[in-house]
A and B are shown apart, each in its own frame.
Chain A
Amino acid sequence: MSSVPNLAPALPEIFLAIIGMALLMVGVFQKKTDNDGEVRNARMISHLGVVAFVLTGLLVFTVSGPSLSTFSGMFISDPFAVYFKVLVLIASAMALIIAQDFLEQHKIAKFEFTVLLIFATLGMLMMVSANNLLSLYIGLEMQSLALYVLASFHRDDMRSTEAGLKYFVLGAVASGMLLYGASLVYGYAGTTDFVLLAQLFEHSPETGSSLGLIVGIVFILAGLSFKVSAVPFHMWTPDVYEGAPTPVTAFFAVGPKLAAIALFIRVMVGPFGDLVGHWQQIVVLISVASMLLGAFAAINQTNIKRLMAYSSIGNVGYALIGLAVGTEAGVRGILIYMAIYLFMTTGAFACILLMRRGGRMVENISDLAGLSKTHPLVAAALAVFMFSMAGIPPLAGFFGKFYVFMAAIEGGLYALAIIGVLTSVVGAYYYIRIIKVAYFDEPGDPLDADVGRNIALVIGATSLAILLFFVYPGVVVDSAAAAAASLF
């Protein structure tokens, strides 16, 4: 009989799980005699949730340091995991902050939102720390299941429920693929543990010639690609982004992406790192396809949420460049890229959340016309986000792309870097079009003037982060370098 496992490395997750359940209890047993009471209750839980994320973040710092694994090697806490956990927690906290107003306006303010968000975040933290194909799958499912529910949280809205359903069904297909791949790998190697797998391939890299193993990896890749919405597993993204409630979309665009990318990196360079020659070509294909589709498909979009969906597809393509290189520099590039992506995207969605007219959300790009007149500060922030996404220096987005492309060039993947630059040009077209609409188009009916304090806070923080990144990039770059180093 084995003794009690070491719980210390998993402290943040345990804490968050307990908090999640505790808030569920609080929410359920809170007296809510009328509708107002329910809203008050939801708001309180939401605030507590933000606090919980902050506390979890602090706990994450207590476990930062050398790599520790526990639970029979299923769970690992290393600088890489810590890096992503911090990003995920920031993303979740910001999503929660900007969500509350929206939920109240749409009369769907329920405390379960916070609870589900916490559990989704828990799933992400587990994904980031997964060190076994099984724990990978469990984390993934926990995250996904919570997200399916969140996608259709606006249950009286046809689009929202449709989004949830689509996400659910396709997610199930993806999970199936992932599991199929995992079983193929298990069938070949006889283990699902990342460390043992890595050892196996390290000793005999020629074993990679086993077709079954590679196909298994491809299936795992497919399952992960679905979660990061890389082409050709992206089809759900625009529909779900459009249909889901906007704060949920904001969260979708950031949190799960972060976690799934982390998982992607860990699986590819961890157990299968020595087989890079076998999967590199596949990742290159996915990356190129994502960049191209992200750039071209976004051009015709009129709905800004759909546009952001394609934008996120393209961004994943850029991030995957770093993975395709398969080197430490490449991974560092992704880590920096994702950190910047987190702030850009959250900020952009916070701006989108302000697109209300007469109390109703509007989502067309053309509705932004005249924003510079009615909300000059918001328009400026939006311009910052869009210019950053387009990769205009000295904004942060430029550096994100820069590190990734540099890694590709150093790794000899010139074609990938060139395609990346070219698609950035195409991408710049639709990003800058948004700025053009906001600044130069004939204004229609003005958007609602009131900007919630929460949203203003998030917009301010993110736009400052993007603007001033170049002043002190060391924070991100150094920790990303350390995180990347822990994988190799």
Chain B
Amino acid sequence: MIPALVFLPLLGAIIVGMLTFVDCNNDKAKKARIDKIAHWLTSGPLLVSAVLAVLIFNDVALNGNARTVELFTWIDSGTLDISWALRVDSLTAVMMIVVTVVSAMVHVYSAGYMHNDPCVPRFMAYLSLFTFFMLMLVTADNLVQMFFGWEGVGLASYLLIGFWYKKPSANAAAIKAFVVNRVGDFGFVLGIFTVYVMFDSISFETIFNAAPLHAETTIKVFGGEFHAMTVACLLLFVGAMGKSAQLGLHTWLPDAMEGPTPVSALIHAATMVTAGVFMVARLSPLFEYSETALMVVTIVGGSTAIFAATIGCTQNDIKRVIAYSTCSQLGYMFFALGVSAYSAGIFHLMTHGFFKALLFLGAGSVIHAMSDEQDMRKMGGIWRLIPVTYALMLIGSLALAGIWPFAGFYSKDIVLEAAWGAHSIAGGYAFWMGIAAAFLTAFYSWRLLIMTFHGTPRADERVMAHIHESPKIMLVPLMVLAAGAMFAGYMGYENFVGGNAEAFWGDSILVLPIHNALEAAHGAPFWVKYLPLAVGLAGIGMAYVFYMWKPQLPGWLAGQIRPVYQFVYNKWYFDELYDWLFVKPAFYIGRNLWKTGDGAIIDGVGPDGIAAATINIARRVAGMQTGYLYHYAFAMLGGVIILISSYMLFGGG
């Protein structure tokens, strides 16, 4: 059952991947047929996988039957023994549900959204391939297998961001995503090395069992003695930061919106970007032994939450707003992990998966309706024309803003309460940043809704005339996700973070008794519990004031605090900073190495130089061949003399 769940998407990807070689020759009917086959050959397995995931969730998480399925040995070298194995426990089961359900919905949705694209089979194959890698990642039994999935999703993400490879911006974004992720992956790999050095193993089972023994181990790095666990965890966290777009390594995520919208929904909102969160939760038995690492995680998470929220308020591209929102919500998840409320983080991950996918797909539906327009300044006044989409977007936004009784309310609340409950400086910082971000979240969510759907239409007439509700095949997945966005929080609360949590999570998550933030959260005072809801409502109210009733206000305010506005609007100048700090020097160094290093020195001395020298020698040697008899005879005599002299001078034997 478990292998079937994991490998079905791969099978679909391979078969449909073959379909890309079918040449349709502008035969519309044939192409439609192929597309349909491609669509069902990928969606079908995914739907089956989703059903299986629900069954497995029931078996593993609810009935507590965690297990590991060994497939076969991968690497067996010295003490390094790695096998392909599928480790399924509660944590994995939750992830499997999120991944397969969202992925299945996105697959179905893509049938409508990608309808007119010339390369449907390729797209569907990539999507399924991505799903396979993601499942590989969450079912990993050891760090290397996890890294395999990790890199696999990175690859799929690269392919999908650059799906419209004829667009230079898409290519640039794909490369950016890949390169920025490399930075994180480098940290991840170093982390794996460190773990291997410490434990002499990279199998989860072994290292989790041995972790308490190594709680005080130190390791030498660059001549200094460091707390080994902290070093390992921080390095692994760098990997998580890269994949989950945390402050510093977040720059690729907004650009990744160059990919088709279903991709944004699947990869850059619901699943791949949460891999970092999953990884930290999975490695909780390690992080628990490093206070420093947890503190760093908390602070980075809190900072990202507020940082991304501020930018979200100023962006005008509908998908970018949601992208920054994703970034911000990932920050929430991380600071939840940082205060050892792993279950709260994963809970938020799950609910977020549903409502963020819903928002993205809804945005896709809007874009679809608006003839591929993404700029919110050119929308407005269309809610009557596409009421279903509007309603779905509203549900998503309510969930995102954390309004009762939508899913986001439950998860965001528990995350913030846990931060408060940590009673630490970092926790306090994260709590207040989270509250502020919650306000901004509500604000930009409604800014998005109002700018997109209300007010006077700002699109031109041709577009307006063409606006239409999306087909059913796009709306049905949205409805499924909307159901998740509405009820997942309420339904999951008890099991994920409530009284039943301990039994639910079993051994998959370790929390040391001293890290009791979650228990403290349940005993949080009234104001802590309702502050998030209050600021959320306040944010919504402010959005109505700014964009519905006094539309001139935003412009005035922006003018009043021009430098601040510019700073935020330009995304805190991160791209510019990196461009100046890394990209330009890298290009400079690269160009120099290429022109002088490789071209002049290596090629000059190496291949070209040796070739030139060879030809030169050849010419000289051939030049000795004069054709004169006496030269030849003389050479022979000279040869004898050289041989005799060499013997006399250097002796023999």
* Touching chains A and B, CB distance < 8 Å: yes
Identify which of B147-155, B422-430, B535-543, B614-622 touches chain A.
B614-622
Question: Is B625's beta carbon under 8 Å from chain A?
Answer: yes
Contact with B along A265-282 (1 / 0, CB 8 A): 000000000011111111
Question: Is A364's beta carbon under 8 Å from chain B?
Answer: no
Which residues of A from 297 to 334 have beta carbons under 8 Å from B?
A: 297-301
Central interface residue in A221, A238, A297, by most chain B CB within 10 Å: A297
Q: Which residues of chain A are near B629, meaning CB under 8 Å?
A: 165-166, 169-170
Contact B622 A300 (CB under 8 A): yes
Q: Which residues of chain B are near A460, meaning CB under 8 Å?
A: none
Contact B639 A278 (CB under 8 A): no
Query: Chain A residue with minimal CB distance to B611?
Result: A429
Contact B622 A215 (CB under 8 A): no
Contact with B along A234-248 (1 / 0, CB 8 A): 011011000000000
CB distance from B173 to the nearest CB of A (A): 41
Q: Which residues of chain A are near B637, meaning CB under 8 Å?
A: 173
Contact A238 B625 (CB under 8 A): yes
Which residues of B from 599 to 650 have beta carbons under 8 Å from A?
A: 614-615, 617-619, 621-622, 624-625, 627, 629, 631-633, 635-640, 642-644, 646-648, 650
> Pick the contact of A222 from B618, B621, B625, B639 — CB < 8 Å?
B639
Contact B622 A282 (CB under 8 A): no
Given A278-B653, A296-B618, A300-B622, A239 contacting B627 (CB threshold 8 A): yes
Contact B621 A296 (CB under 8 A): yes
Question: Is A214's beta carbon under 8 Å from chain B?
Answer: yes
> Pick the contact of B622 from A170, A233, A297 — CB < 8 Å?
A297
Question: Is B652's beta carbon under 8 Å from chain A?
Answer: yes
- Chain A interface, number of residues (Cβ within 8 angstroms): 43
Contact A211 B648 (CB under 8 A): yes
CA distance A293 to B646 in the complex (A): 19
Contact B633 A219 (CB under 8 A): no
Contact with B along A152-184 (1 / 0, CB 8 A): 000000000000011001100110010000000
> Pick the contact of B636 from A177, A211, A296, A299 — CB < 8 Å?
A177
Contact A218 B644 (CB under 8 A): yes
Which residues of B from 424 to 444 have beta carbons under 8 Å from A?
A: none
Contact with B along A405-445 (1 / 0, CB 8 A): 00000000000000000000010010000000000000000
Q: Which residues of chain B are near A341, meaning CB under 8 Å?
A: none
Contact A278 B647 (CB under 8 A): yes
CA distance A219 to B528 in the complex (A): 105
Contact B625 A299 (CB under 8 A): no
Contact B643 A214 (CB under 8 A): no
Contact B646 A285 (CB under 8 A): yes
CB distance from B628 to the nearest CB of A (A): 10
Question: Is A446's beta carbon under 8 Å from chain B?
Answer: no
CB distance from A212 to the nearest CB of B (A): 11
Which residues of B from 519 to 566 have beta carbons under 8 Å from A?
A: none
CB distance from A245 to the nearest CB of B (A): 19
Contact B647 A282 (CB under 8 A): yes
Question: Is A226's beta carbon under 8 Å from chain B?
Answer: yes
Contact A233 B639 (CB under 8 A): yes
CA distance A290 to B151 in the complex (A): 53
CB distance from B342 to the nearest CB of A (A): 58
CA distance A215 to B633 in the complex (A): 19
Contact B652 A235 (CB under 8 A): no
Q: Which secondary structure dominates where chain A touches chain B?
A: helix
Query: Chain A residue with minimal CB distance to B634?
Result: A235
Q: Which residues of chain A are near B648, meaning CB under 8 Å?
A: 211
Question: Is A232's beta carbon under 8 Å from chain B?
Answer: yes
CB distance from B200 to the nearest CB of A (A): 38
CA distance A229 to B327 in the complex (A): 77
Query: Chain B residue with minimal CB distance to A215?
Result: B644
CA distance A225 to B631 in the complex (A): 17
Given A211-B648, A297-B621, A300-B615, A282 contacting B643 (CB threshold 8 A): yes
> Pick the contact of A280 from B615, B617, B646, B652 — CB < 8 Å?
B652
Given A215-B644, A239-B627, A281-B646, A232 contacting B638 (CB threshold 8 A): yes
CA distance A279 to B643 in the complex (A): 10
Query: Chain B residue with minimal CB distance to A279?
Result: B652
CA distance A179 to B469 in the complex (A): 107
Contact B636 A214 (CB under 8 A): no
> Pick the contact of B653 from A219, A222, A277 — CB < 8 Å?
A277
Given A215-B644, A222-B640, A282-B652, A170 contacting B632 (CB threshold 8 A): yes
Contact B639 A281 (CB under 8 A): no
Q: Which residues of chain A are near B636, meaning CB under 8 Å?
A: 170, 173-174, 177, 222, 226, 232-233, 235
Question: Is A208's beta carbon under 8 Å from chain B?
Answer: yes
Contact A285 B643 (CB under 8 A): yes
Query: Chain A residue with minimal CB distance to B638?
Result: A232
CA distance A14 to B535 in the complex (A): 118
CB distance from B566 to the nearest CB of A (A): 61
CB distance from A55 to the nearest CB of B (A): 38
Contact A214 B652 (CB under 8 A): yes
CA distance A232 to B634 in the complex (A): 10
CA distance A221 to B637 in the complex (A): 12
CA distance A465 to B531 in the complex (A): 90
Contact A214 B647 (CB under 8 A): yes
CA distance A276 to B617 in the complex (A): 32
Central interface residue in B624, B648, B652, by most chain A CB within 10 Å: B652
Q: Which residues of chain B are near A222, meaning CB under 8 Å?
A: 636, 639-640, 643
CA distance A281 to B648 in the complex (A): 11
CA distance A298 to B653 in the complex (A): 34
Contact A293 B621 (CB under 8 A): yes
Query: Chain A residue with minimal CB distance to B642?
Result: A232
CA distance A9 to B615 in the complex (A): 51
> Pick the contact of A296 from B614, B627, B633, B639 — CB < 8 Å?
B614
Q: Which residues of chain A are near B627, meaning CB under 8 Å?
A: 239
Contact A300 B618 (CB under 8 A): yes
Q: Which residues of chain A are near B650, meaning CB under 8 Å?
A: 281
Given A170-B632, A297-B622, A277 contacting B652 (CB threshold 8 A): yes
Contact A280 B625 (CB under 8 A): no
Q: Which residues of chain A are near B644, meaning CB under 8 Å?
A: 215, 218
Q: Which residues of chain A are near B631, meaning CB under 8 Å?
A: 235
Given A170-B629, A218-B643, A285-B643, A232 contacting B652 (CB threshold 8 A): no
CA distance A433 to B622 in the complex (A): 18
Query: Chain A residue with minimal CB distance to B648?
Result: A211
CA distance A252 to B638 in the complex (A): 25
Given A170-B636, A235-B632, A300-B619, A218 contacting B653 (CB threshold 8 A): no
Given A166-B629, A238-B625, A280-B653, A297 contacting B618 (CB threshold 8 A): yes
Q: Which residues of chain A are near B621, meaning CB under 8 Å?
A: 293, 296-297
CB distance from A220 to the nearest CB of B (A): 11
Q: Which residues of chain B are near A232, meaning CB under 8 Å?
A: 635-636, 638-639, 642
CA distance A278 to B644 in the complex (A): 11
CB distance from A70 to the nearest CB of B (A): 34
Q: Which residues of chain B are near A285, meaning CB under 8 Å?
A: 643, 646
CA distance A281 to B645 in the complex (A): 12
Q: Which residues of chain A are near B643, meaning CB under 8 Å?
A: 218, 221-222, 282, 285-286
Contact B652 A281 (CB under 8 A): yes
Query: Chain B residue with minimal CB distance to A275?
Result: B653
Q: Which residues of chain B are near A231, meaning CB under 8 Å?
A: 639
Residues of A bordering B, CB below 8 Å:
165-166, 169-170, 173-174, 177, 208, 211, 214-215, 218-219, 221-222, 225-226, 231-233, 235-236, 238-239, 275-282, 285-286, 293, 296-301, 426, 429
New A-B pairs, 10, CB < 8 Å, besides A238-B625, A277-B653, A281-B650: A165-B629, A170-B636, A214-B647, A218-B640, A233-B635, A235-B635, A235-B636, A275-B653, A281-B647, A301-B622
16 contacts between A and B (CB under 8 A): A177-B636, A214-B652, A222-B639, A222-B643, A233-B639, A275-B653, A278-B653, A279-B652, A281-B650, A281-B652, A282-B647, A285-B646, A293-B621, A299-B615, A300-B622, A426-B614
Residues of B bordering A, CB below 8 Å:
614-615, 617-619, 621-622, 624-625, 627, 629, 631-633, 635-640, 642-644, 646-648, 650, 652-653
